[in-house]
Amino acid sequence: MPNDKINQILAEIAAAKATTPDELEAYRMRFISKKSVVGELFVLMRDVPNEEKREFGQLVNGVKQAAEEKFQALIQALESNTKKTKTSGLDLTLPPGNLPVGGIHPLTATRQRIIEIFERIGFNLSEGPEIEDDWHNFTALNFPENHPAREMQDTFFIEKKPDVALRTHTSSVQVRVMEREKPPIRTLSPGRVFRNEAISARAHCIFHQVEGLYVDENVSFADLKQTLYHFAKEMFGKDTRVRFRPSFFPFTEPSAEIDISCLICGGKGCSICKGSGWVEIGGSGMVDPNVLENCGIDSVKYTGFAFGMGIERIAMLKYQINDLRLFTENDIRFLQQFRPLL
Ligand code: PHE
């Protein structure tokens, strides 16, 4: 009688199926758990005469093993089944998951902010070509021919065309605007410029400038100073101080370099400002009358001021970035820091 029961259980195990977790659990209850039919066989063992115990025990253990092997097989079959339905069951009606949010490149953000500040005080925007001729990049700007000042700018000349170069500054755009328009002119020209310099933490052969030009009757150096004071306070905060240092540019007279009080140490002196408390942000000056005349503007009636600043330099100060190369390496760890906070 017990042998019949064993055969029946073995047949049941062999035929068992589990296509859902509930069916798997039902199998476990029936064949694996303590109170299962296999468990009952162990209880039956007590009533088996001693001389048959050994043989019966072996049979019961065989049943136990078969039940467990089948259980593992059922688990595996169920798992691979659910995986299959998961990947093939594509539900196009589901809402998408969270999409990664991009950010604005720090140079773009800085450029935008500079434009915004100057647009509010009446400057418009102008652009010009990156491949320039000698006239717009140098001659109209009062660089005498063969003058070393042309070398000062480390120009990339186009081979076999000595008259054509990659622009070394966006002052060339201002020449184009003055040739085209009549005063009053108030224009801002942001753009990419090129200089033949070795790439380091502080210099690059491609960088960005923004230049401003104001030409009208009675424009004075006081207007230039006030405009740049306004810009520095808007850009870097109201406690920022501005200093003008006498300098030279062929296209402005008088000329001055623009410094702002160091943002890192507040002017006390640190490694960024090399202990001086000041950092340079650009050049400026009153447009040289020769330049106005070169562009067809009456230099007796009109005067003007111009300034030029490096966008990288301003972004470095604003975001406290210590290596210019980070802007162009596209290291995601750097760029991710400029993602908008959500
Ligand atoms: N064009 C100058 C430069 O690139 C900067 C500048 C602009 C200086 C306007 C004075 C006036 O170095």
pLDDT in tens, 180-196: 999 999 999 999 999 98
Q: Let me know if residue 116 belongs to a domain.
A: yes
Q: Indicate whether 257 and 173 sit together in one domain.
A: yes
- Give the Cα separation of 210 and 171 in Å (integer): 9
Contact 124, 130 (CB under 8 A): no
Q: Indicate whether 138 and 81 sit together in one domain.
A: no
What CATH number does residue 311 fall under? 3.30.930.10
273-290: pLDDT as tens digits? 888 999 999 999 999 999
Distance 309 CA to ligand 1 centre (A): 7
Q: Indicate whether 52 and 183 sit together in one domain.
A: no
Q: Let me know if residue 93 belongs to a domain.
A: no
Better-predicted residue by pLDDT, 162 or 120:
120
Mutate to test the pocket of ligand 1, among 118, 150, 154, 169 (most ligand atoms within 8 A of CB): 169
Can you tell me the mean pLDDT for 310-329? Answer: 90
Can you tell me the mean pLDDT for 231-248? Answer: 94
DSSP assignments along 81-95, one per residue: HHHHHHHH---TTSP
Mutate to test the pocket of ligand 1, among 118, 249, 280 (most ligand atoms within 8 A of CB): 249
- Give the Cα separation of 16 and 22 in Å (integer): 13
> Can you read off the two tokens belonging to residue 175?
């020449």
Distance 250 CA to ligand 1 centre (A): 9
Nearest protein Cα to ligand 1, atom 8: 283
Nearest protein Cα to ligand 1, atom 2: 308
What 3-state DSSP class applies to 219? coil
Q: Indicate whether 10 and 124 sit together in one domain.
A: no
pLDDT band of 107, cuts 50, 70, 90: very high
**Angle 305-307-308 from CA coordinates, rounded to 5°:** 160
Which ligand 1 atom is at minimum distance from the Cα of 171? 1
Q: Count of domains in the chain?
A: 2
Give the range among 11-20, 119-128, 297-306 with minimum mean pLDDT: 11-20
* Cα–Cα nearest to 181, from 284, 286, 296: 296
Q: Indicate whether 55 and 9 sit together in one domain.
A: yes
pLDDT band of 151, cuts 50, 70, 90: low
* Cα–Cα nearest to 189, from 155, 214, 158, 154: 214
Q: Indicate whether 194 and 267 sit together in one domain.
A: yes
Which ligand 1 atom is at minimum distance from the Cα of 174? 9
Other C-beta atoms closer than 10 Å to the C-beta of 177 total: 18
Q: Indicate whether 124 and 8 sit together in one domain.
A: no
E strand or H helix at 252: strand 252-261
Q: Indicate whether 81 and 118 sit together in one domain.
A: no
Residue 107 half-sphere exposure, CB side, CA atoms within 13 Å?
20
What pLDDT shows up at residue 342?
52
Q: Let me know if residue 92 belongs to a domain.
A: no
Mutate to test the pocket of ligand 1, among 153, 155, 171, 227 (most ligand atoms within 8 A of CB): 171
| Torsion over CA: 261, 266, 272, 275 (sign) | positive
Secondary structure of 147-194 as H, E, C letters: CHHHHHCCCCEECCEEEEEECCCCHHHHHHHHHHCCCCEEEEEEEEEE
pTM equals 0.70
> Can you read off the two tokens belonging to residue 179?
């040739």
Distance 284 CA to ligand 1 centre (A): 6
Q: Indicate whether 134 and 242 sit together in one domain.
A: yes
Q: Indicate whether 50 and 117 sit together in one domain.
A: no
Nearest protein Cα to ligand 1, atom 9: 307
Residue 307 has pLDDT above 60, yes or no: yes
Which ligand 1 atom is at minimum distance from the Cα of 213? 9
Q: Indicate whether 255 and 327 sit together in one domain.
A: yes
Q: Indicate whether 145 and 44 sit together in one domain.
A: no
Which ligand 1 atom is at minimum distance from the Cα of 308? 7
The pocket around ligand 1, CB under 6 angstroms, is made up of 169, 171, 211, 249, 252, 255, 283-285, 306-308
Show the domain range for 227.
106-341
Q: Let me know if residue 99 belongs to a domain.
A: no
E strand or H helix at 221: helix 221-236
pLDDT band of 124, cuts 50, 70, 90: very high
